[in-house]
C-alpha cells in the first residue's frame, strides 16, 4: 500500500506516506502507484488537485483532511478525521468510499460550485479580508455577506434573468434550474460575451480567457467516508 499526502506532512509508523506540496503534484511521476491520496486544505485545494490529476491515469481513493474555511465537500460526505482513517488502514481495515461527481468548465474542474454572480463578488471580497485576525476565521465570509447585502438585493433578480450570468451549486440539486441558477448540471453552453472573464469555482477565482463556456459532468472521484 502506498499513500500520498498533499499539502501537509503526515507520518505513521506502520504506513508508507510520501508528503508533497500541491505545487509539486504535476511533476510527481508516481501518481499511478498510490492507493490513497490525502488532500489537506479546503475546497479550493481539492479542486486544484483534481484539476491537475484529471488527465493522469490513477485509481487512488481520496482521504480528505479539511483545514479550509468552508470544507463543503468534506461536510457533504461527512469524512472522518484523517488520524482515524490512518489508524484503520494500519489495522488492515477496508475503507468505505463514496463517489463524488466533478465537472469541467472549459479546461477547469469544479466539484460543486461555479458562477459569475453574487458568489464571485462574495469570494473576491472575502479574500480581500483575508488578513490579521480574519485570515483563518469564517467571520470574513459573514462580513462579506453583510457588506454586499444591498448589492445582492438589488442585482440578484436582474442576474437571474441574464443570459450571460450563471450560478451553479450542486448540493441544491432539488432545484433543477431557476433562471440562471442551476442545482443540477447536465451539459450547457454559456456565451459570456467577453473574452476575459472572472469565474468562481469552488471558492477559487479563476480567469477564463474565452467568451464561450462549455460546462459538463466529467467524471467521479472516490472519497473515503465514515462507517
Domains of the chain (ranges; CATH) run 3-101 (3.40.50.10330), 113-219 (no CATH)
pLDDT at 190 over 90: yes
CB-hemisphere CA count at 13 Å for 27? 4
Mean pLDDT over 175-189 rounds to: 95
Q: Is the pTM of this model over 0.75?
A: yes
Which residues touch 175 (CB under 8 Å, ≥6 apart)? 181, 183, 184
**C-beta neighbour count of 15 within 10 angstroms:** 15
Mean pLDDT over 128-139 rounds to: 85
pLDDT at 146 over 90: yes
The set of cell numbers assigned to 101 is 461527481
DSSP track, 196-226: SEEEEETTEEEEE--SEEEEEEEEEEEEE--
Mean pLDDT over 76-80 rounds to: 95
Q: What are the backbone dihedrals phi and psi of residue 128, each rounded to the nearest 5 degrees, phi first?
A: -65, -35
pLDDT at site 135:
82
Mean pLDDT over 71-98 rounds to: 94
Across the chain, mean pLDDT equals 94
CB 224 within 8 A of CB 85: yes
Amino acid at each position: 500500500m502506498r499513500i500520498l499526502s498533499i499539502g501537509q506532512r503526515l507520518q505513521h509508523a506502520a504506513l508508507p506516506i510520501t508528503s508533497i506540496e500541491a505545487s509539486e503534484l504535476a511533476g510527481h511521476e508516481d501518481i499511478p502507484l498510490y492507493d490513497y491520496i490525502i488532500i489537506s486544505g479546503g475546497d479550493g485545494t481539492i479542486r486544484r488537485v483534481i484539476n491537475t490529476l484529471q488527465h493522469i491515469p490513477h485509481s487512488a481513493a481520496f482521504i480528505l483532511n479539511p483545514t479550509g474555511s468552508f470544507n463543503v465537500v468534506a461536510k457533504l460526505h461527512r469524512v472522518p478525521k484523517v488520524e482515524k482513517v490512518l489508524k484503520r488502514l494500519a489495522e488492515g481495515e477496508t475503507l468505505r468510499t463514496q463517489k463524488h461527481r466533478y465537472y469541467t468548465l472549459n479546461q477547469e474542474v469544479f466539484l460543486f460550485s461555479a458562477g459569475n454572480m453574487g458568489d464571485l463578488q462574495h469570494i473576491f471580497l472575502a479574500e480581500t479580508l483575508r488578513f490579521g485576525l480574519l485570515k483563518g476565521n469564517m467571520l470574513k465570509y459573514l462580513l462579506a455577506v453583510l457588506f454586499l447585502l444591498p448589492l445582492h438585493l438589488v442585482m440578484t433578480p436582474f442576474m437571474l434573468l441574464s443570459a450571460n450570468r450563471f450560478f451553479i451549486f450542486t448540493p441544491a440539486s432539488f432545484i433543477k434550474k431557476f433562471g440562471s441558477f442551476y442545482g443540477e448540471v447536465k451539459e450547457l453552453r454559456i456565451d459570456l460575451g467577453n473574452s476575459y472573464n472572472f469565474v468562481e469555482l469552488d471558492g477559487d477565482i479563476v480567469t477564463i480567457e474565452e467568451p464561450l463556456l462549455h460546462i459538463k459532468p466529467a467524471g467521479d472521484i472516490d472519497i473515503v467516508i465514515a462507517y
